[in-house]
């Protein structure tokens, strides 16, 4: 049976418990933030995917996703936005941020500095995908943009073209996250805005960090992670470690079958210590990564990772690490049903949020939705 679109109860911690460290406890049932037209949003899109959410001061949330004309990655996608003023309990109207329904707006990534919100996205010309783009900057080439809101998502600037600032010669595409960015809070790069991304050259992909040191006025791309040929780390999330360094956790090519990680000691400019994380079996899916707590007295620092189980995009779970991602012994099941891309956010006051892709119906004709559930971390 697929997940119910109304009143679905996420049962964090019920199917499994962490073997070590903090535990995860659900606060309330899932709320559907974006819903496909097949699932009941009659003014919407046949497929909704690629969630991201930012937490603003005062508990306001800004959520983003793709509205797609079909299940294909590039299918006339548009970027959709909704705002919540009560930490995700209820949501305002759905608005279209970008897209003409012909070319495809893809891989939105959201990050905020206070009430200033940035959304990065790319545009694929009609008839192209990651493997068929023109090289260079003309013709059927991918372009990247950023938009900004300075009033918590009520209004947005026009798009600023960042293509030449972010994509180096010879790189076919820059693909954001997807999901969430972050702002570094410690170390020599404190205040740097980090945008997880990956670049593609032909069939090869490599994760990179895009960053800004001037509050989003300008952006630049760091060096790609140095991974063995064939591993191809791509869709990626990042989190700050205790010492201010940056952890990168990514999906990799199909032949790897595990999550892959690397560390940056210079705020995303370069990467080292690439490794395959053997305990994180992965069906090649994006995952959410969050620094949930820095060490405080007797309490260890905590990182959270949201991802599907090993066999396909099902059996969603939250993994827990108390050693900056060196190991992930804690595991709490979210649902036994479909669980796709996801992101995690800190809502403040000990509360956290999980936004995820869900679906019911058949694999060839799914009713897709993006849900949001709040939970606490205990211990």
**Model confidence over 237-278: pLDDT tens digits?**
999 999 999 999 999 988 899 999 999 999 999 999 999 999
pLDDT tens-place string over residues 201-247: 887 999 999 999 999 999 999 999 999 988 999 999 999 999 999 99
Structural domain harbouring 259: 23-378
Q: Is residue 360 part of a domain?
A: yes
How many percent of the chain have pLDDT more than 70?
Answer: 93
Kindly state the percentage of the chain with pLDDT values over 90.
74
- Is 1 a domain residue? no
Distances (CA, A) of 115 to 54, 55, 76, 91, 152: 10, 9, 30, 18, 5
Residue 1 has pLDDT above 60, yes or no: no
Tokens 């869900």, located at residue? 358
Q: How far apart, in whole angstroms, are the C-alpha atoms of residue 110 and residue 102?
A: 23
Residue 326: pLDDT band by 50, 70, 90 thresholds?
very high
Residue 39 has what pLDDT?
73
Is residue 14, in this structure, part of any structural domain at all? Answer: no
Q: What tokens does 364 get? A: 């060839």
Tell me: the pLDDT tens digits for 192-202? 999 999 999 88
- Lowest mean per-residue pLDDT among 20-29, 51-60, 70-79: 20-29
Q: What is the average pLDDT value for the chain, to the nearest integer?
A: 90
What is the model's pLDDT at position 8? 36
The residues, any chain, with a CB within 8 Å of residue 202's CB and separated by 6 or more, are 131, 172
Strands 179-180 and 104-113: parallel
Residue 11 pLDDT: 41
DSSP class of 296? B
Is residue 39 included in any domain, yes or no? yes
Question: Does residue 224 lie in a domain region?
Answer: yes
Tokens of 183: 């702002």
Structure token digits, residue 280:
């994180």
pLDDT of 79 above 50: yes
- 5 within domain boundaries: no
Is the distance from CB of 342 to CB of 356 less than 8 angstroms? yes
CATH of the domain at 142: 2.120.10.10
Q: Classify residue 17: in a domain, yes or no.
A: no
pLDDT tens by residue, 171-194: 999 999 999 999 999 999 999 999
Task: Provide mean pLDDT across the span 149-167.
Answer: 96
With respect to residue 32, please indicate whether it lies within any of the assigned structural domains.
yes
Q: Considering Cα of 137, then 143, then 149, then 152, what sign does the dihedral take? A: negative
CB neighbourhood size of 192 (10 A): 20
| pLDDT band at residue 363 under the 50/70/90 scheme | low
Buried b (16+ CB within 10 A) or exposed e, 24-56: bebbeebbbbbbbbbbebeebbbbbbbbbbbbb
Q: Provide mean pLDDT across the span 352-357.
A: 96
Number of domains comprising the chain: 1
Cα–Cα dist 134/92, whole Å: 39
Q: For residue 216, what pLDDT is reported?
A: 97
Which range among 19-23, 131-135, 173-177 has the greatest average pLDDT? 173-177
C-alpha 44/C-alpha 220 separation (Å) is 35
Let me know the angle formed at the C-alpha of 363 by 361 and 365, rounded to the nearest 5 degrees: 60
> Is the confidence at residue 13, as pLDDT, over 90?
no
Q: Does residue 10 carry a pLDDT above 70?
A: no
Instruction: State the DSSP code for 57.
Output: G
pLDDT of residue 370: 95
| Dist CA 277 CA 101 (whole Å) | 39
Cα separation of 82 and 324, whole Å? Answer: 32
Q: How far apart are CA 179 and CA 161, in angstroms?
A: 20
Instruction: Categorize the per-residue pLDDT at 362 as very low, low, confident or very high, splitting at 50, 70 and 90.
Output: low
Place of tokens 């279209």: 96
H helices of the chain, in order, are: 163-166
| Among 25-29, 347-351, 353-357, the range of highest mean pLDDT | 353-357
Do 254 and 277 form a contact (C-beta atoms < 8 A)?
no
């Amino acid at each position: 049976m697929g997940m119910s679109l109304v009143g679905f109860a996420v049962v964090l911690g019920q199917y499994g418990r962490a073997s070590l460290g903090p535990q995860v406890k659900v606060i309330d049932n899932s709320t559907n933030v974006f819903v496909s037209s097949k699932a009941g949003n009659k003014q919407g899109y046949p497929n909704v995917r690629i969630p991201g959410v930012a937490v603003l001061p005062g508990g306001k949330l800004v959520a983003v996703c793709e509205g797609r004309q079909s299940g294909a990655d590039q299918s006339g996608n548009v970027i959709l936005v909704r705002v919540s003023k009560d930490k995700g309990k209820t949501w305002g109207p759905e608005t279209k941020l970008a897209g003409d329904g012909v070319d495809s707006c893809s891989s939105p990534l959201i990050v905020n500095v206070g009430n200033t919100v940035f959304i990065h996205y790319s545009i694929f010309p009609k008839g192209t995908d990651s493997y068929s783009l023109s090289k260079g900057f003309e013709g059927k080439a991918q372009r990247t943009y950023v938009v900004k809101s300075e009033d918590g998502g009520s209004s947005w600037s026009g798009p600023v073209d960042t293509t030449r600032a972010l994509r180096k010669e010879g790189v076919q595409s820059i693909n954001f996250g997807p999901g969430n960015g972050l702002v570094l809070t410690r170390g020599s790069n404190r205040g740097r805005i980090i945008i997880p991304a990956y670049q593609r050259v032909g069939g090869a992909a490599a994760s990179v960090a895009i960053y800004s040191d001037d509050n989003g006025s300008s952006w630049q791309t760091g060096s790609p992670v140095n991974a063995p040929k064939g591993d191809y780390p791509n869709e990626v999330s990042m989190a700050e470690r205790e010492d201010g360094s940056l952890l990168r956790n990514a999906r990799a090519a199909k032949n790897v079958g595990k999550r892959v990680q690397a560390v940056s000691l210079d705020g995303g400019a370069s990467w080292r210590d690439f490794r395959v994380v053997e305990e994180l079996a992965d069906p090649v899916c994006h995952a959410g990564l969050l620094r949930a707590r820095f060490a405080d007295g007797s309490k260890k620092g905590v990182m959270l990772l949201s991802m599907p189980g090993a066999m396909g995009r099902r059996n969603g779970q939250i993994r827990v690490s108390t050693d900056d991602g060196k190991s992930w012994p804690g595991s709490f099941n979210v649902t036994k049903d479909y669980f796709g891309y996801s992101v995690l956010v800190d809502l403040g006051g000990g509360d956290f949020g999980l936004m995820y892709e869900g679906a019911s119906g058949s694999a060839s004709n799914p009713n897709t939705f993006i849900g949001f559930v709040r939970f606490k971390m205990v211990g």
